[in-house]
Structure 1
Amino acid sequence: MSIIILILIALAILFGVRDLRIRFITRPVFAFFKKVLPPLSTTEKEAMEAGDVWWEGELFRGKPDWNKLHDYGKPGLTVEEQAFLDNQVQTALAMIDDFDIVHNRKDLPPELWEYFKKEGFFALIIPKKFGGREFSAYANSTIVAKIASRSISAAVTVMVPNSLGPGELLTHYGTQEQKDRWLPSLAVGNDIPCFALTGPEAGSDAGAIPDIGVVCRQSFNGEDTLGISLTWNKRYITLAPVATVLGLAFQMKDPQGLLGDTPDIGITCALIPTDHEGVVIGNRHNPLSMAFMNGTTSGKEVFIPLDWIIGGPQYAGRGWRMLVECLSAGRGISLPALATASGHVATKTTTAYSYVRQQFGMPIGYFEGVQEAMARIIANTYQLEAARRLTTLGIDLKVKPSVVTAIAKYHMTELGRDVVEDAMDIQSGKGIQLGPKNYLGHAFMANPISITVEGANILTRSLMIFGQGATRCHPYVLAEMEAASMDDSAAGLDRFDNLLMGHIGYSCRNALSTFANALTGSRFSSAPVSGQTKSYYRDMNRISAALATMTDVSMLVMGGDLKRKEMISARLGDVLSQLYLASATLKHFEDNGRQHDDLPIVHYVMQQRLHFAAKALQDAIRNFPSKIISILLKVIIFPLGNHFAMPTDKSAVNLCMGMMQPSPARDRLTFLCGEFAGDKSGIAEVEAAFNAKYQAKALYKKLKQAQRNKQLPAKLPMVDLFDAALSENIITDEEHTQLIEADKLRLDAINVDEFSSL
């Protein structure tokens, strides 16, 4: 015992006496940091510094401030935005015939193009003073999602001008002259924009684009002009075939030193009319048979003046940061809106179809095998809607949450794929036979598009979420990296010493919190609410602290090699992502007024998220390169084992049975898949059958009881059964008519389109 006391006294002196601490601790650690911290390329540094840290920073630090999450408020629509949804969007939906768009025209009909232009669908983000709508991110997302519930092709056509592209870049960075020239024309659809970033040699690694712009002097409009000679070759460019103005990202070089002494200026963005001499708009692509415009553009030694750079010459070389900051629209608004729309459609139609489609004498939704998949659809849709709201809320709060939008892009598009695949499995033949009545097929075909664009999902998960989040969200690492880049002067060591002491205290607190919560089942952890969701906040505190501990240990042990350990960093990113998605779920429940009939879904979602987060931690520990450290981490994080389980079978059954009936909870979960007069998409058809059969459920029960009592034959076609029941006076004439009508609607809903020839 005396030896332990002496050791503790020695440590107290070593850490407490500043000169000793700097000499024996800070200086060696400072040298170690310089050696092991990952070097950052210019592109990585710009990406790291772009955007803001928002709620993800709280989740990463081991002790989230849940009151801060609740105090963000909730997203909502202005009177103007709601009126646009009730009028213009509903009118547009009635004009959409997606089968005709995709299979016949392979384009939107001219009248829909004109309506989109005239009513400002392409100007949702453009400020009002330039003739735009200037809607919120939440309204933008809701509009795109509503359109996507009936046509992915139409939704993509609307979302692209309101996503990463000339409109957004001009709004944020354009000169006044550029804004005055382009934004009013874009707002009324006189100009159609596209943005050319991706090429044959640069996809997810957009920072490595090979397209070159060389600073030079040439004659332009009869005058000697300082400008750029551009050569580019781009592909996968949405709206390129119909664009009148081209946003272009390229590497800008100044070998003659006409602008200064920097030969490699860096990635730059410019705006070029597509009718400008030398601009080539090439052929169309065929993106999985979707009908939105997508194609190529190229140019060779095309000269433009310097003032065509977005933001003017002073923004030369700042294009990468501009792009990273503006990617929030595509990653946080547009693509998640498509995924959420898929969830709403899948939930609305699958719960209805599972009730009206019968096999072996009962609705297929009563089979537990079907309920297992249907429960995932319902839970994932709730998750998608919750994440959509929280992410757009962050954007509307005028932060640029780059890590959050990367999480949203990856996980929401993957969840969108999951819900459509599960819906296809349940609705089977209804989903695979294409035709005007098929509401799943095009969404199923389009899913890989969202997975691929705006940064491939594989690389978003393995490189971006944790790679950027660990540095940006950590309270000390970025500052320590900056301090480590300084020399070892007294000022540099003093700054590093302060950061190091704070970091050590932070790490010890998180490790102790993780271990204590693991031993006590988080029972003594704080929560901002009472009731049935209280335990989830406590468990998330535990996992947040575990993530912080795991991150510190991983960065300490692996240093720069952590960048190359993509499987481990991806799993740690998954922990952060699951915490974010779970946070969105709990906030959505609170924002909705803690509706009691939402609780079965909330329980299901939260148990999933906590299970996935804990499993990701467990897998990261199991695969940690140092076995000794792996054992130590297991003792700290899971001393009693991993007890975060998936939802029970009973909860899945209860969830599905509650959703296979008309209810406010079902309406809340499917509101993006709205109803309108003349809907011929097949959605209205299956919903009508669902409502009719549900309203006649007492009659069906009466018939079933009569069969058990031998009053009616056990097996008869439906109409014959109704006739027999009428003959035996089991039902009245009015009830017979009701059953006949319900059965007619049922057959209409389960039948698929057929063609004399294809």
Structure 2
Amino acid sequence: MSIAVPFLVFLLIAGIAAYHRLRLPTWIALTAVGLMACWLLDANATAVIVAAVITAVIAVPLLLPQIRLPLITKPLLGFYTRILPPLSETERVALEAGTVGFEGQLFSGKPDWKVLLDQPAPVLTEEEQAFLDGPCEELCAMTNDWDITHVRADLPPEMWEFIKKNKFFGMIVPKEYGGLGFSALANHKVIQKLASISSVVSSTVGVPNSLGPAELLLHYGTEEQKDHYLPRLADGREVPCFALTGPWAGSDATSIPDFGIVCMGEWNGGNVVGVKLTFDKRYITLAPVATLIGMAFRMYDPAGILGDQRDIGISLALLPRDTPGIDIGRRHFPLNSPFQNGPLHGHEVFIPLSQLIGGEAQAGKGWQMLVEVLSIGRSITLPSTASGGGKMGAVVTGAYARIRKQFGLSIGRFEGVQEALARIAGNAYTISALSESTAAAVARGENPAVPSTIAKYHCTELGRQVAQDAMDIHGGKGIILGPKNYLGRSWQAAPIAITVEGANIMTRSLMIFGQGAILCHPWVLKEMKAAMLPDGPGRVREFDRNLFGHIGFAISNAVRSLWFGLTGASIGKAPGDAYTRRYYRKLNRYSSALALCADTSMLLLGGKLKFKESLSGRLGDVLSQLYIASALLKRYEDQRRPEADQPLLAWSILNAVHKIELALSDALRNFPVRPVGWLLWALIFPLGRRATPPGDRLSRRAASLLMTPNEARDRLAEGIFLTPTQNNPAGRINSYLPAVVLAEPVERKFLKALKNSDIEALTFAEQLDEGVREGWITADERGQLQALREMTIDTISVDDFDTGELRSAGYQRRCANRDDLATA
């Protein structure tokens, strides 16, 4: 027997044990059995003995705590403590604020898919569905987006009244306070539907149900505050806003320069302890019409009125609009999407301590309060808005591409247009799955800190891509603004969602992986907490348990990454059916790769990793795409594996996998420690990169789903406003699609006969009459073609205006004043 056999047996058993994450005693027992078999089968005795000695050298120190703790663990604890990056109070609060759901499994390198698939399918209650079908449908039908965005720059009074009367502002307020008490899923569905007709309406309704006074009061308010304010917020007597962002503190909310000084002051005729606020805020949605202002500021107590602490910290307060000293400035004008948004100013505005959210007990805890609530807001409003716009963009662009003809063909038959249609279909499908998945997590009671940042970033970015592709396909139809344009405002508003609730560049490069690497990792946070325990045997034992769990975890992921790379993740246990099992296996592979890269990066770079934003962003992309692909598979399973949806699922999964490999490739090629990058490449891509983007055949199938009435298209369109009203041109165009498809054979027959004839009729009506006389078409078919022409005209027509209609009212007033002066 070869001298190499015992060593091969040793490595094979070690690899199998690492792949399956067997416990150390199990590995030792299996290795002993394997080497004994080699001995009995006359393998080289020296080789067997050497392999046994290697096993003993590894096993004995690791198995015996009296050796391991003082000689291995304690020195490593000292080293770990030295390299451990300092964790600021801000970072500590951010890490402790969120909960970990299935995204933690994606960081494990060996996801337990049962955890995902056992989650209940998201379902609305009967009351929530009735609200969507009733008041929400009515509000959409009332919406005239051109009137809102161009004529009024505001909702008309009757819409404000309808919103308040039907408690759209009170969706998250419990019923005991007069609200609707809806779930996060229902909140998502309402915002999605409103966004499909007007982003101004959706943002107006979304903000009071997102980060704001109601959410903060529910979590932290005193009973007196809840009893007073929540009923008023629910029925619209109070219109809320929340003032966080200012000129000097945008994404970096911890640097708020706005301050409040604890002092004595007058309030309701009495002399009470309070805070004198000075603030300068901007970009505050609903500020121009708000009656109740939530305010974030840094609180100081220089006179020691409340105690010895001078810098109390970030605090949150409620300011009635009529509080003396508040200056609600003029409005901002956000990219022709004129939702109510504007600045707030105040100089030495006095409020009593009872106006602090949660009262004096919550003073200085504002950052924790914000972090906990921000992730919930990010999970709902912006992803839902992107979902509504993306879905509407998908179905109406598919209908437009079928109806609009050039060179005698529907433009959707051209391969260049099909590429864009496929992206629209796949991205809309992805946004829908991702936004609903994250809303469902909130509805289950989770506080999904990492998924919320993933959803916010990727839904808004994909929504922008959908808007861009839809604009490209529509051409002049999308460019010319007016009542018939249903895309222009969405295109103009796309950067707004990219910017708010944390700029996307910062979200990607700092937050997704920066927070996920610690919060979702199965061992890192535990090690950090163990290292921060007081000195003593308990600290060493706790660190020992987590350290060696982490070491085994890292070895396992290296082995699994290599194995998956060599086999292309084509074998192995995975859930799903014959169609989706391959996708689960791919995600198993990239989960191991992510865990391996994350561990290596954190080990070698330590605290410097937070400054390696390109690396952090790329690893964040891997985590994001794993989460997105998981949401796609969960959606497919929840909908009972519809075969008609398979082209959309396949396009979206392949697109995600391709992005994962691109991100991993870029991360490893630019890894700060070059030899380590080469080693990781050999483990993760031993046979090179293999993932490719969706192919042309699959893209054509995905595109065709948007241009033909079918069940997959109907599922994609669920939850948006498609009623073909006068104020909903997108809904009208979508409603034409079945009739257009039915008329196409008649149209081809007629045009072929017309081409081969010598009739001299030039107008379409005369040609149709001639066709009936010649027997090319019947009278009924003539009516069908006439209707097709009318639907096509409505589809492709755009608006035009008198120059005076386009001039602003202010300009016209100035001109009138100059004319009056000239006359005088």
- Give the TM-score range, shorter chain: over 0.9
CA 1:643–1:202 in structure 2 vs 1: closer, same or farther (change >3 Å)? same
Report the equivalent of 1:543: 590
Question: Separation in 2 of the partners of 1:144 and 1:583?
Answer: 23
| Letter matched to residue 105 of structure 1 | R
Tell me if structure 1 keeps the 8 A contact 2:288–2:341: yes
Letter in 2 for 1:744: E
State whether residues 522 and 542 of structure 1, in contact with CA within 8 Å, keep that contact through their aligned partners in structure 2.
yes
Residue in structure 1 matching 2:800, options 751, 754, 757: 754
Q: Does 1:457 align with 2:504?
A: yes
Name 2:613's counterpart in structure 1. 566
For the residues of structure 2 that align with 1:242 and 1:215, how far apart are their CA atoms?
Answer: 29
The separation in 2 between residues aligned to 1:348 and 1:294, in whole angstroms, is 31
- Whole-angstrom CA distance in 1 between matches of 2:225 and 2:370: 18
Query: More deviation in 443-452 or 299-308?
Result: 299-308
**Which one of 337, 350, 358 corresponds to residue 303 of structure 1?**
350
1:742 to 777, 788, 792: 788
Match of 1:136 among 183, 192, 205: 183
Q: Kindly provide the CA deviation profile for residues 531-585 of structure 1, in whole angstroms up to 9, marking residues without a partner as x.
A: 2111000110111111111110110011111000000011111111001110111
1:396 maps to a residue whose letter is A
Aligned length: 757
Q: What's the counterpart of residue 317 of structure 1?
A: 364
The structure having more radius of gyration, on CA atoms, is 2
Write the mapping of 1:41-60 to structure 2, written as runs, cut at 5 A. 41-60=88-107
Secondary structure at the aligned position of 1:625 is classed as coil
**Cα gap change, 1:345/1:714 in structure 2, threshold over 3 Å: closer, same or farther?**
farther
Q: Distance in 1 between matches of 2:456 and 2:798?
A: 33
Of 641, 648, 654, 1:601 maps to 648
Shift of 1:688: 3.8
Q: 1:431 to 1:24 in 2, by over 3 A?
A: same
- Seen in structure 2, the aligned counterparts of structure 1 residues 584 and 31 have a Cα distance that, compared at 3 Å, is same
Q: Which secondary structure state, in structure 2, belongs to the residue aligned with residue 22 of structure 1?
A: helix
| Superposed displacement of residue 677, structure 1 | 5.7
1:742 to 1:94, Cα distance in 2 relative to 1, 3 A: same
What does residue 731 of structure 1 align with? Answer: 777
Amino acid at match of 1:494: R
Q: Within 2, Cα distance between the matches of 1:433 and 1:272?
A: 43
Partner Cα separation in structure 2 for residue 721 and residue 615 of structure 1: 56
The alpha-carbon deviation at position 260 of structure 1 amounts to 2.5
Q: Partner of 1:691 in structure 2?
A: 738
Shift of 1:714: 13
Residue 57 of structure 2: aligned partner: 10
Q: Greater CA deviation, 521-530 or 354-363? A: 521-530
Match of 1:70 in 2: 117
1:534 aligned to which of 573, 576, 581: 581
Alignment pair present for 1:682 and 2:729: yes
Q: Once the 2 structures are TM-superposed, how far is the Cα of residue 667 of structure 1 from its aligned partner?
A: 1.2
Aligned mates of 1:617, 1:672 — CA distance in 2: 36
Query: Out of 187, 194, 198, which is 1:147 matched to?
Result: 194
Alpha-carbon displacement from aligned partner over 1:369-421 (angstroms, at most 9, x marks no partner): 00000000000111111112111110000110111101000000001100000
Distance 1:716 1:331 in 2: 58
- From 135, 138, 141, the counterpart of 1:88: 135
Counterparts in 2 of 1:306 and 1:518: CA distance versus 1, 3 Å:
same
**Deviation at residue 221 of structure 1 after TM alignment:** 3.2
2:478 maps to a residue whose letter is: G
Q: Secondary structure in 1 aligned to 2:335?
A: helix
Shift of 1:719: 5.0
CA deviations over 1:603-633 (Å, ceiling 9, x no partner): 1111001111121111111111111111110
User: Aligned to 1:161, which of 208, 214, 230?
Assistant: 208
Partner of residue 20, structure 2? none
* 1:640 paired residue number: 687
Aligned-residue offset at 1:717: 7.2
Check conservation: 2:277, 2:350, Cα contact below 8 A.
yes
1:427 to 465, 468, 474: 474
Which residue number corresponds to residue 508 of structure 1? 555
Cα distance change, pair 524–314 in 1 and its aligned pair in 2 (3 A) = same
Aligned to 2:461: 414
| Offset of residue 244 of structure 1 | 0.7
User: How much has 1:349 moved relative to structure 2?
Assistant: 1.0
- Cα distance, 1:188–1:37 mapped onto 2, change above 3 Å: same
Aligned match for 2:492, one of 438, 445, 452: 445
Structure 1 residues 258 and 8, CA gap change in structure 2 (3 angstroms): same
* 1:503-555: CA deviation from partner (whole Å, max 9, x where unpaired): 11111112111111111222332222222111000110111111111110110
Q: 1:714 to 1:667 in 2, by over 3 A?
A: farther
The answer to whether the 8 Å contact 1:108/1:291 transfers is: no
Distance in 2 (CA, whole Å) between partners of 1:94 and 1:216 is 51
CA distance in 2, matches of 1:643, 1:748: 47
Q: Distance in 2 between matches of 1:602 and 1:718?
A: 43
Native 8 Å contact 1:274 1:280 kept in 2: no
* Partner of residue 541, structure 2: 494
TM-score of the pair, normalised by structure 1 = 0.97
Measured in 2, the distance between the counterparts of 1:690 and 1:67 equals 41
Tell me, in whole angstroms, the C-alpha distance in 2 between the residues paired with 1:721 and 1:653: 35
2:521 maps to amino acid: H
Q: Secondary structure at the match of 2:785?
A: helix
Structure 1 counterpart of 2:426: 379
Inter-partner Cα distance in structure 1 for 2:253 and 2:210: 17
Aligned with 2:229 (options 182, 187, 190): 182
Q: CA deviation at 1:691?
A: 2.8
Letter in 1 for 2:779: D
- Structure 1 equivalent of residue 630 of structure 2: 583
Letter of the 1:399 partner, please give it: E
Task: Measure the CA separation in 2 of the matches of 1:253 and 1:50.
Answer: 24
Instruction: For residue 687 of structure 1, report the CA deviation from its aligned partner.
Output: 2.1
CA drift of 1:258 comes to 2.3
The DSSP-based 3-state class of the residue aligned with 1:297 is strand
Shift of 1:713: 8.6
Residues 278 and 299, structure 1, Cα contact 8 Å, conserved in 2: yes
C-alpha change, 1:711 and 1:67, in structure 2 (3 Å) is: farther
Identical counterparts, % of pairs: 49
Of stretches 306-315 and 678-687 in structure 1, the one that deviates more from structure 2 is 678-687
User: Which of 370, 388, 395 is the matching residue for 2:435?
Assistant: 388
Q: Does the 8 Å contact 2:725/2:732 carry over to 1?
A: no
In structure 2, do the counterparts of structure 1 residues 4 and 280 end up closer, same or farther at CA, with 3 Å as the change threshold?
same
Match of 1:359 among 386, 390, 406: 406
Distance 2:418 2:216 in 1: 46
Indicate conservation of the 8 Å contact 1:53/1:401, yes or no.
Answer: yes
- Cα contact 2:396–2:731 (8 A) shared by 1: no
Cα shift at 1:248: 0.4
